Structure 1
């Protein structure tokens, strides 16, 4: 008759539970998988499948009682590690949303806002369009596969049991400023072009006061803005691929990896 002790059962459960917590924490906010359009059951089953597949190659886990308070804290710790790893990708994706918001303000489309049930908020129409475009580019570059590979490597580079506060948290905080710098870099040509258009209509209103600048300027600004958006798509994929590589490299370095 097969007999198992409580320690053996706890060890067996921990083999799948700790990896599942870290992977599920990443799937909560990871682009595409973290969207509310993806059912929670699909995310849970995918996290369980990955945990089962990588369990034989994982380093040894700390011996912790599965029903102890220490096990609860360890599970929360793994959720936070996975959450912070995926946060690099979420920041990268929302660069495109901020680019669209900057262009919308210059075009006069800032008032055209669409509710976004996937992210629980409201975004400008152009920002939502750029967000979808950035997500498709990320998937086309196989960025989601590279992110899953980094997530699996995190169990080797940052084994289960190492504290969250030992991670380089300032590097993650520094990505907040990176999102503004990256989005401004992508939107700068269109912003400068729209600025020249607005300056031209300002000079025109001073030269010919009888001209109705509001009736002429608003449609012309929108037309020139749409042309700027059209031309910006020519060099956007190559620039955005560099941003994806930078975000994935920062994600890898966050857990102690060497790019």
Structure 2
């Protein structure tokens, strides 16, 4: 074979190889599929509900005390104890149970004209009285004031003794409010409401406190509101229809 014929034979072999190559390199097309729609509790909704109930106070706490000034520490302390005894007797006489009285303050201190020489001593003792019958509130305050010039008033507050039951009522209303919102949002998004995943209550749901209205002729507790706020996390599921 001549040199030319060898070159032509090699070229023919290369062409034949090129013609066979596509059959070896080709691959079937890869199918393209859409991502599946989330199902079950993979879709979630977080809502806030609030519930409130009206509360009428039925208990009053009176913070009152005595304060005296004497030349010596022992005299001041003894005088304060004596005045506190008179105050306690007056409160009990006005209908406050002894078990509903407690000491909430006791102090003794020197007064100076020019330090370190003391010119007198001041002593005080405080009491908190729990008045369970509000119809006697005015009489209790008047009795305390009648003890004398040593008496000091430190304010009153009103409370609801049955607050736990009212908190439960407000809590139920808050949960129903949250569920109603969640059901509406689920329907708007094309889902139905699933199971509860998490519940959080904001605050402690405690009873409200009521301040005494000083411009009233008598002590009026008024009304207040117990409010509970709850956050609920729901899972959403596919609609049956």
Q: Please report the TM-score for the alignment, with normalisation by the length of structure 1.
A: 0.22
Write 1 or 2 for the structure with the bigger share of helix. 1
Higher strand share: 2
- Give the TM-score taking structure 2 as reference length: 0.23
